Amino acid sequence: MQKGLILYLNGVTSTGKTTLAKEIQEKADVNFYTFSNDTFQQMISQKFLRQDYWKHLSEAIIQAYHVAKQMSDNGINVIYDGMILETDELKPHYEKIIKIFNGSPLKMIEVYCPLEICKQRNIERGDRGENQSYEQCELMAKDIVYDFSVDTSVYSAEKCAEIIINKI
């Protein structure tokens, strides 16, 4: 059985990863299942997140990667909408991703947007901290090897999806 493709969209909040994932799903000739850190965070009791946010979220994120790997192994295409943050609980996060997805057709895609634009998007959304993108940028893994990047401040989500689909 042919393994499913895994597209890992990496970027700080409000770069446009979720919107981009939806556009890829709409435009691709094959089906992609999409999930994210947020999807798995919703599985955790708020009580435990309040007690030790990063411990519990980190456990969920690692399990999410195993789910994505299993789906790929079963021939299912996956878009993972995430952030490769180097928190104490996840270090070395990027290396863990590479190990878990070893042997899988993984495409690492940087979803970029200048932080000032992310800040404005955070304000407009109203469900994120104004400076959350800056804070996450400080925690981002630094030595990620990307297959390619898209800039959502230059191109629309629709155009970024076309770029990604053409490259894969």
Three-state DSSP class for residue 3: coil
Say how far apart CA 10 and CA 62 lie, in whole Å. 15
Three-state DSSP class for residue 111: strand
pLDDT at 54 over 90: no
6-167 CATH: 3.40.50.300
Other C-beta atoms lying within 10 Å of the C-beta of residue 99: 10
Give residues with Cβ within 8 angstroms of 136, minimum separation 6: 12, 13, 83, 85
Residues 164/7, Cβ–Cβ less than 8 Å? yes
User: What are 83's two structure tokens?
Assistant: 């952030």
Residues 23/164, Cβ–Cβ less than 8 Å? no
Task: Quote the pTM value.
Answer: 0.94
pLDDT tens track for 27-49: 999 999 998 988 888 888 999 88
Average pLDDT, the chain: 94
pLDDT at 63 over 90: yes
Q: Where are the alpha helices (DSSP H) in the chain?
A: 17-27, 37-41, 46-73, 93-100, 115-125, 132-139, 157-167
pLDDT at 22 over 90: yes
Q: What's CA 106's distance to the chain center, in Å? A: 13
Q: Token match 């979803």: residue? A: 111
Q: Domain coordinates of the chain in residue numbers? A: 6-167
